[in-house]
Amino acid sequence: MTQTSLSGTAGSDARLVPAVQISGVTKDFGEVHAVRGIDLTLEQGEIVAFLGPNGAGKTTTIDMLLGLSHPTTGSIEVLGLQPRQAISRGLVSAVMQTGGLLKDLTVRETVTYTASLFAHTAPVDDVLRTAGIESIADRKVAKCSGGEQQRLRFAMALLPDPALLLLDEPTTGMDVEGRRAFWSAIRADAEQGRTVLFATHYLEEADQYADRIVLISHGRIVADGTGSQVKALAAGRTVRATLPDAETYGLAELPGVDSVDVRGEAVYVHAKDTDTVARHLLTQTPAHDLEITARGLEDAFLSLTGDQDDAATYTDSIEGTPR
């Protein structure tokens, strides 16, 4: 796959433009301010996770990237073009959660029919192979699992060889094996230079597969960086130690301690100053087997969005029960 230049043709002297350029974008629905001022640039070839609580503005932003709605203020460019122009040229494809499949057709028939709707497409066998569904090409769509159907949607999205691929909660309802196979196909394809932007409720997916994480809350971007950088924004670390008799030995009163959690003979102390906590445990208590770890993406999510109810949705999703 070649990268797309400003003129729409590949060439060493062509000036590459960002895959996505969002500048000062707001979106209002009457009195509801869904997006409250977003500035975001995605370079070509990046894999970017778009995270946020329900109602944060993720889907509204994706709709605007797809040209399904227009900003109230600000501007959006996709590969230097207006979203609808980019889509009409086959530069953008999307994989949504549901819909778009005829259950009585086979996998190959579905892709072949979709290809007939475009003037120019990649070969059907190539996209089946890239999506990892070549072995089930003759299977009826109705007989495919949820993960296989999502990989079929992925194959359909690849037909115009888009420079930008948008995924909206692509693995909702998949089992662990299906999610792993789906992301293996996405990663292998993205390594060829395609830009991927995906919204997900599975925090571990963002941490494992994204080059960059953009966290949105209440219509504004509150974090933008690698997984490690976003995690670092959750102040403090966690000290875990084995502490017999479930005594806390005044840990909650130490400077910089946010919380103390006792689980059997294990104590977990979340604190900004973990050195002080570790010193106290080792010199003032019978604690042993002590370890200090950085907080995870879930902690960063909680810290940066400040919404426990919405965070619970993400936590449940991690455990396999998205709501």
Number of domains in the chain: 2
Say if residue 276 is in the same domain as residue 175.
no
Q: Each residue of 13-28: pLDDT tens digit?
A: 334 899 999 999 999 9
Tell me, what's the pLDDT at 201?
79
Say if residue 155 is in the same domain as residue 178.
yes
At 12, is the pLDDT very low, low, confident or very high (cuts 50, 70, 90)? very low
| Full-model pTM | 0.74
- Give me the mean pLDDT over the 94-121 stretch: 91
Residue/partner pairs of 290-293 with CB below 8 Å, 24 or more apart:
290/239, 290/240, 290/241, 290/242, 291/239, 291/240, 291/241, 292/237, 292/238, 292/239, 292/240, 293/237, 293/238, 293/240
Mean pLDDT score across all residues of the chain: 85
Tell me, what's the pLDDT at 307?
53
Range of the domain at 251: 235-294
The answer to whether residue 169 scores a pLDDT higher than 90 is: no
Least confident of 108-122, 139-153, 249-263: 249-263
- Give me the mean pLDDT over the 264-273 stretch: 88
Which residues, other chains included, contact 126 with Cβ-Cβ below 8 Å and sequence gap of 6+?
Answer: none
Which domain-ending residue is among 180, 206, 231?
231
**CATH number, residue 288:** 3.30.70
Which domain-ending residue is among 179, 199, 231?
231
Tell me, what's the pLDDT at 203?
84
Say if residue 242 is in the same domain as residue 95.
no
Say if residue 198 is in the same domain as residue 62.
yes
321 in any annotated domain: no
Say if residue 110 is in the same domain as residue 202.
yes
Tell me, what's the pLDDT at 47?
94
Say if residue 155 is in the same domain as residue 243.
no
Say if residue 274 is in the same domain as residue 180.
no
Cα separation values, 312 from 105, 158, 274, 301, 308, Å: 39, 34, 26, 10, 6
